[in-house]
Amino acid sequence: MANYKELNVWQKSMDLVVDVYITIDSLPQVERFALLDQIRRWSVSIPSNIAEGAGRNHKKEFIQFLSISLGSLYELQTQLEIAKRVGYISNIFVLDNKTLEIEKMLNALITSIKKTI
């Protein structure tokens, strides 16, 4: 498989992790171990699963891990929306755009790999 660090989707998802950490740093102290922990977990899971899947020896396994990354992305989007709706984060527009871009990239990569199987 490809070197995961060279994959644009991995690079963008790493940037997303940094942006998420910066954004959620302002969450109220009461949420430090609930919503905050979930948001961190899901954001970190996205590039982590891309990396793990790229390290596998089979394309089907890589697709499986890319799908897990996609699931983590959807969970992250949901957690961010919850944080927005309860008033912890006022504007998630930038994060929304980044997650949508990564979603498209993951779907395109999965489709591309499936064509080679």
Indicate the range of 10-14, 32-36, 103-107 predicted with least confidence.
32-36
Task: Output the average pLDDT for the chain.
Answer: 92
Three-class SS of 14-77? HHHHHHHHHHHCCCCHHHCCCHHHHHHHHHHHHHHHHHHHHCCCCHHHHHHHHHHHHHHHHHHH
pLDDT tens readout for residues 22-52: 988 877 777 666 888 899 999 999 999 999 9
Question: Averaged over 6-32, what is the pLDDT?
Answer: 88
* Structural domains in the chain (count): 1
Structural domain that includes position 109: 4-115
pLDDT tens readout for residues 84-95: 898 888 878 889
Q: What is the pLDDT of residue 1?
A: 60
Which CATH number does the domain housing residue 13 bear? Answer: 1.20.1440.60
The model carries a pTM of 0.92
